[in-house]
Structure 1
């Protein structure tokens, strides 16, 4: 099966979810922007709803909060402070999975949270090209034009306004900063200005934009890492801005860069990108670069042929390949895998990759089993907490999507089962009671499963 065929099937599956789930006839009333530590008047209406039959794994950067998409709704479990539940309450002690009732037709959801913080901000992109945010508004992460400090939050989705009501086609998060790509090829950012990740010329945390700031035009695609962004232009060039702590920018430099800068090292891959702006993972993309992302200190690039290239820090096995020294680790070099890869998810110091056969591979930091799920390179259990310095094939089959949070990994199986492994902090793997889990079916409404492998 070709990589392109798999991508078409996966996209169709995501669209089909819309018809699977019937959510409550009532919803929340979206509140107007309010000040910090406010009491939200919104109420989540949970009269009657049919539990979904399918959940699609997504990627975020939270410590103890996880999310999935189902039928156009965002489902959230784990930590739900600072309005993160999206249902009108500042703090929700119930860690179990619940949908954000007031927001439907969502096609993508991302999460932004700084390293020292459990709380964070959700961003959601809808079918109509609108962006909604909720949760912490520290440093203007919500993009609603203002912030009143570290305690500021919104407990219901707020619409982010873009100039000329531009239609957004892709959305990403860089820890405490968000980025959006519009249909016209413009890239906007908002949130923290630390390390230059807002692209607005500043490396000062408090000087990031509080509403969408135009960084670049003429973009073909936008790719977001933990504290940096890459833009592939219609002129077949790649630019980056943000933080490169160990060469994870692909330019082999260690620098905080607050403005777009050309990455000449990626020029050989940027071929056939002249077409209109397009979202990552869109099967219509003809560009030689399909995906660029990063963990905290290493980057990864997927080509149109499904080849994986990595660059950055070799510590914790983040680059998934041998490197004799720091300079070689920062070079863009291929990770050998037996089948074409069409999706990759980056955690804090680890990666998971999904290939065209439905097989998942993991490498990098394994302190919480987030990379290999306690599997050794030979397929046996007992990996312990040893870093996976090369890709390990995980004992999963028929997988259609991978995702995860900071130290937790997820995979969606073709029969709708969502499987998690790694850290279980504050309910990150719903239903698991151990400190770390290995390939555990998540306890989610509507899903019944007796086996994983």
Structure 2
């Protein structure tokens, strides 16, 4: 496959993320794991996108197929029936050049520059001006010249070449980068969204790679929870991740953490590390999963190559997402090579 997107998981449903990963392996490779029956392999895949409980592939002919959880219509087959095998997305049999799977919604970038989304829309993440869930793809309004897309937790963004970045959907933590916390039912301009090469939407924050190879992020910066409540520190507009410097070639935002790849192939991550997703040999895992050269070529979007971010879990501890200042786990850390 050419591209793989960032995967998301619901914080307290760790096992579901494993089932999603296994489902991806079954469909793409046809491999048998545990006692599961192998699925027919997909031999014409050029991009794969994984959401919280569903996955989609873009074929070499420009068609989209999805499978998995379909509670909100995120498979785009006109039903809410869960699918164990890839189902054709209605109306997307050709003409698609990129796809992205968010928490409970999916999006496709068309060759002409328009964007279509489907699935959960209660927080207006589909960008069609409504809050109605959609079982089949609908056009994102006022968007005809997009060059890249990214679907996050409950928000979505699209690059408009080097001229701008537009985001829409939930904005309770400033993840749209509009300078406020107002939800947007249609694409809204991100403050300072010019001269960006790539964008990656995480669960509650967003990061972008600039033409000077630096990184900017916005949304949740700190998340501190106890057994009862959580408090958040947010950035409402793009803010530089200064610790990364100006040598970044690719980015990926996950759930409460982010990763970046440098020109030399090194991977640096920051944010939550409860499940060792930062790859720094922290906690009790002596051999974390280590990005290799092949992982460095794994990309969320065309024209960029973000490493795949591992799902995280909400827990009563500090969260450091954006990486602008340097409290615990808030700086960019090099991923350690495994043995």
Shorter-chain TM-score category? 0.5 to 0.7
SS in 1 for 2:185: coil
Q: How far apart are 1:338 and its partner, in Å?
A: 6.6
Q: How far apart are 1:131 and its partner, in Å?
A: 0.5
Q: How far apart are 1:223 and its partner, in Å?
A: 2.5
- Match of 1:214? 189
Q: How far apart are 1:212 and its partner, in Å?
A: 0.3
Q: How far apart are 1:168 and its partner, in Å?
A: 0.8
Q: Which has the larger radius of gyration?
A: 1
- Match of 2:297? 342
- Match of 2:263? 304
- Match of 1:58? 48
- Match of 1:202? 180
- Match of 1:80? 70
Q: Which runs of 5+ in 1 are unaligned?
A: 1-8, 12-50, 114-119, 248-253, 270-288, 325-334, 351-388, 394-453
**Normalization by structure 1: what TM-score?**
0.51
Q: How far apart are 1:258 and its partner, in Å?
A: 1.4
Q: How far apart are 1:73 and its partner, in Å?
A: 1.4
User: Aligned-residue CA RMSD in angstroms?
Assistant: 3.0
SS in 1 for 2:243: helix
- Structure 2 vs 1, CA of residues 337 and 58 (structure 1 numbering), >3 Å: closer, same or farther? closer
CA distance in 2, matches of 1:179, 1:93: 26
- Match of 2:218? 241
Q: Is the 8 A contact 2:109 2:149 kept in 1?
A: yes
- Match of 1:30? none
- Structure 2 vs 1, CA of residues 339 and 77 (structure 1 numbering), >3 Å: closer, same or farther? closer
- Match of 2:199? 223
Q: How far apart are 1:110 and its partner, in Å?
A: 1.3
Q: How far apart are 1:140 and its partner, in Å?
A: 0.7
CA distance in 2, matches of 1:121, 1:338: 30
Aligned residues: 256
SS in 2 for 1:124: strand
- Structure 2 vs 1, CA of residues 53 and 60 (structure 1 numbering), >3 Å: closer, same or farther? closer
Q: Which runs of 5+ in 2 are unaligned?
A: 4-40, 225-231, 284-288, 299-306, 314-334
2:161 to 160, 164, 183: 183
Q: How far apart are 1:235 and its partner, in Å?
A: 5.2
Residue 313 (structure 1) aligned with residue 263 (structure 2): no
Q: Is the 8 A contact 1:73 1:101 kept in 2?
A: no
Q: Is the 8 A contact 1:239 1:262 kept in 2?
A: yes
Structure-to-structure mapping, 1:32-181, within 5 angstroms? 53-56=43-46, 58-62=48-52, 64-70=53-59, 71-89=61-79, 91-103=80-92, 104-113=94-103, 120-147=104-131, 152-162=132-142, 165=144, 167-181=145-159
Q: Is the 8 A contact 1:61 1:347 kept in 2?
A: no
CA distance in 1, matches of 2:90, 2:199: 29
CA distance in 2, matches of 1:54, 1:306: 28
SS in 1 for 2:123: helix
Q: How far apart are 1:268 and its partner, in Å?
A: 3.2
CA distance in 1, matches of 2:42, 2:282: 45
SS in 2 for 1:138: coil
Q: How far apart are 1:67 and its partner, in Å?
A: 1.5
Q: Is the 8 A contact 1:61 1:348 kept in 2?
A: no
- Structure 2 vs 1, CA of residues 173 and 348 (structure 1 numbering), >3 Å: closer, same or farther? same
Q: Is the 8 A contact 1:222 1:229 kept in 2?
A: no
Structure-to-structure mapping, 1:294-443, within 5 angstroms? 294-322=253-281, 339=293, 341-343=296-298, 344-349=307-312
Q: Is the 8 A contact 2:254 2:310 kept in 1?
A: yes
Q: How far apart are 1:97 and its partner, in Å?
A: 1.4
CA distance in 1, matches of 2:337, 2:233: 28
CA distance in 2, matches of 1:233, 1:268: 9
Q: Residues 338-386 of structure 1: CA distance to partner in whole angstroms, max 9, x if unpaired? A: 7473222123139xxxxxxxxxxxxxxxxxxxxxxxxxxxxxxxxxxxx
Q: How far apart are 1:72 and its partner, in Å?
A: 1.2
Q: How far apart are 1:88 and its partner, in Å?
A: 2.5
Q: Is the 8 A contact 2:208 2:216 kept in 1?
A: yes
